[in-house]
Chain A
Amino acid sequence: MRKAILSIALALMLLFVFAVPIFAATSADVTVTATPAFISISVLPIDYDFGTVAESATPETTTSYFTITNSSSVVTDNTVGVTTSAWSGGIGWTHSDTCTPGTDTAGLKANKGGTWGTGDVIVKFNSPNILADDQAITTNWSFGLKLYAPTVFNDGVEKSIIVRITATQAA
């Protein structure tokens, strides 16, 4: 009797030892690892008024008009985009992701503290471009915006769109 019980116990033990890892391979092998880091940016000023613009005009801020205060504890990638595919106000403008102005179609470019025409980045709605790549830890940076006004307007109502800077840990 005791031999039988011992045999059963041994069989159970072997079952647990060898069977559980098989179960684990389908239910418990997922690993989740997080890198300790803080991502933090803010911007000032938050507005710029291009004023009254003419058809096909290309008014611009200085390339250091907007300052990003970067308090991130890791190197970051920062993209620039617009939050909608159209400008609001009156007869809305279409936002051109190729920065090709047209009738009621406008574009935007950004430049990170350089010279307009050198290193300009198109401000897109889809797949925003990187403006500040591998930005150093806790190092502030600045940028400007340049408007490419429509070649033809169909009203004189003020237009607006939101430009968004997105910070992530560098890839």
Chain B
Amino acid sequence: MNKIIILLIVVGLLLGGCGQPSSTVVQPLEPPPELYDKIWISPGKVEVGNFYPGARAEYPVTIHNGNDEPAEFSVTYRVADNTAEGYDQAPAAAQAWVIIEDPAPVLEAFETREVLIAVVMPEDAEAPPKWEFWIAVNDVTQTGMVQTELACRWLVAMSE
């Protein structure tokens, strides 16, 4: 009888554990060799689903320094220049919800590094059903009149 009781409890705990959905889908992709001496970021797009006030979502942006010398980068929240279909601009307050683990990483020559990005929405905050912001990465050692910037789209869909 004791064994039956223990078995029931274990089964119960296992079934209960199954109720916890996984939260992050990661599909790793190896960079092609020709990107070794290029500056790149990955991914290009992060989609957050079922978000709600009080929730937290996180995902790293990977930065590669294709320069043959160290370079400082800036990692910043950026208002989207344009948005995906069905998405609105992020609320003005959203900038304060985004936490960037290291906003000014210095990467060695040809180094690749992850910088964690987290979105923590306050419990009393409001947002459109679907909203978008960008995480921009700049090589701040650029000196010219024309410079380039790489950005990752964050598409956030609120739970209904």
With A2-B1, A79-B81 as given contacts, are A36 and B39 in contact (CB-CB < 8 Å)? Answer: no
Task: Report the minimal beta-carbon distance from B39 to chain A, rounded to whole angstroms.
Answer: 6
Q: What residues make up the interface of B, taking CB atoms closer than 8 Å to A?
A: 1, 4-5, 8-9, 11-13, 15-17, 19-21, 23-29, 31-32, 34-35, 38-52, 55-59, 66, 81-85, 134, 136, 142-153, 159
Residues of B close to A20: CB separation below 8 A: 16-17, 19-20
Q: Which residue of A lies closest to B144 (CB)?
A: A46
Contact yes or no, A40 B150, CB < 8 A: yes
Q: Which residue of A lies closest to B43 (CB)?
A: A34
**A77 within 8 Å of B (CB atoms):** yes
14 A–B pairs (Cβ distance < 8 Å), ordered by A:
A17-B16, A35-B44, A35-B46, A36-B29, A41-B150, A83-B147, A130-B82, A160-B145, A162-B145, A164-B147, A166-B148, A167-B151, A169-B44, A171-B83
Residues 30-74 of A contacting B (Cβ, < 8 Å): 30-43, 45-48, 66, 68-69, 71-74
Q: 0/1 per residue, A117-137, Cβ < 8 Å to B?
A: 000000000011110000000
Q: Which residue of A lies closest to B84 (CB)?
A: A171
Contact yes or no, A29 B50, CB < 8 A: yes
Measured between alpha carbons, how far is A162 from B147 in the docked complex, in Å? 7
Given A32-B23, A46-B146, A171-B153, 5 further pairs, Cβ under 8 A:
A12-B9, A16-B13, A17-B16, A42-B39, A76-B44
Among B39, B47, B48, the residue within 8 A (CB) of A40 is B39
Measured between alpha carbons, how far is A145 from B142 in the docked complex, in Å? 19
Contact yes or no, B44 A24, CB < 8 A: no
Residues of A close to B35: CB separation below 8 A: 38, 40, 71
Q: For chain A, which range describes its interface: under 10, 10 to 19, 20 to 34, or 35 or more residues? A: 35 or more
Among A5, A26, A37, A47, the residue within 8 A (CB) of B45 is A37
**A89 within 8 Å of B (CB atoms):** no
Residues of B close to A102: CB separation below 8 A: none
Measured between alpha carbons, how far is A38 from B32 in the docked complex, in Å? 9
Residues of A close to B66: CB separation below 8 A: 40
Contact yes or no, B147 A30, CB < 8 A: no
Q: Which residue of A lies closest to B13 (CB)?
A: A16
Contact yes or no, A14 B12, CB < 8 A: yes
Measured between alpha carbons, how far is A72 from B150 in the docked complex, in Å? 10
Q: 0/1 per residue, A4-36, Cβ < 8 Å to B?
A: 011001101111110111011011111111111
Contact yes or no, A168 B1, CB < 8 A: no
Contact yes or no, B152 A29, CB < 8 A: no
